[in-house]
């Protein structure tokens, strides 16, 4: 089962990562000024993850496939790691769809 891990950046911003059952990060957030903003981001991922139309399949300048997940307002709420192939990227999307809706939230804030 997947989990959201909330951490704090060196600049004081909160961020979350969605990790698959194997511990691998499959989606990372932007920085949020408040914990409430971060929590709202997680809820947005849960809500939008099952909808394939919310994913944008992209290719980085070095040719690596990756994806973003968008909210209903079009704002990016998460970005994936870089993948070695488009099929691996598509598997990453399926993993977000599977893991995000029921993922528990863990904190790694010191």
* Domain spans, the chain: 3-108
**DSSP letters for 23-92:** S-EEEE---BSSHHHHHHHHHHHHHHTT-GGGEEEEE-TTS-EEEEEE-TTS-EEEE----SSHHHHHHH
d(CA 53, CA 73): 13
d(CA 1, CA 21): 5
pLDDT of residue 110: 59
Q: State both tokens at 41.
A: 């981001």
Model pTM score = 0.92
d(CA 23, CA 35): 23
Q: Which class in CATH covers the domain with range 3-108?
A: mainly beta
pLDDT, mean of residues 96-102:
95
Question: pLDDT band at 39, cuts 50/70/90?
Answer: very high
Name residue, tokens 């939230």.
Answer: 105
Which tens digit of pLDDT belongs to each residue from 48-76?
999 999 999 999 999 999 999 999 999 99
User: In the chain, what is the straight-line distance between the N-terminal and C-terminal CA atoms, in Å?
Assistant: 24
């Amino acid at each position: 089962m997947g989990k959201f891990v909330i951490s704090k950046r060196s600049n004081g911003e909160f961020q979350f990562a969605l990790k698959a059952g194997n511990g691998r990060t499959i989606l990372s957030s932007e920085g949020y000024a408040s914990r409430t903003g971060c929590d709202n981001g997680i809820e947005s991922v849960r809500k939008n993850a099952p909808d394939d139309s919310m994913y944008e399949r992209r290719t980085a300048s070095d040719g690596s496939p990756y994806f973003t997940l968008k909210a209903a307002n079009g704002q990016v709420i998460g970005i994936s790691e870089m993948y070695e192939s488009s099929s691996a990227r598509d598997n990453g999307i399926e993993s977000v769809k599977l893991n995000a809706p029921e993922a528990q939230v863990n904190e790694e804030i010191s």
